[in-house]
Amino acid sequence: MVCGSAAFLALITLCFMIAHRLAASGQRRTAACSRIAGALCAAGVVTAGAPHGSLTLFTGVSLALLWTATATTRLIRQATP
């Protein structure tokens, strides 16, 4: 239980760290999307114990993971000459 919570917290933190990096490079819309993905992941974790909580957890975490993959690919492409 503790390890799962730590992993979800790390994913949420990663979304907001990516948002900070994107905002610093001038990509405000992409940074906003990253913040939304982090917030949806946090909402999924918070509502995990509610009815249909597993569905919201799955949705929030899946969106955050997909967004993290998309945003990091974009950042890697920018850094590569």
Alpha carbon distance 61, 75 (integer Å): 21
Sequence ranges of the domains in the chain: 55-81
HSE of 70, CA atoms in CB hemisphere, 13 A: 13
Verdict on whether the full-model pTM lies above 0.85: yes
Q: Which amino acid is at 3?
A: C
Q: What is the pLDDT along the chain (81 residues), one digit of tens a residue?
A: 678 889 999 999 999 999 999 999 899 999 999 999 999 999 999 988 888 888 999 999 999 999 999 999 988 998 887
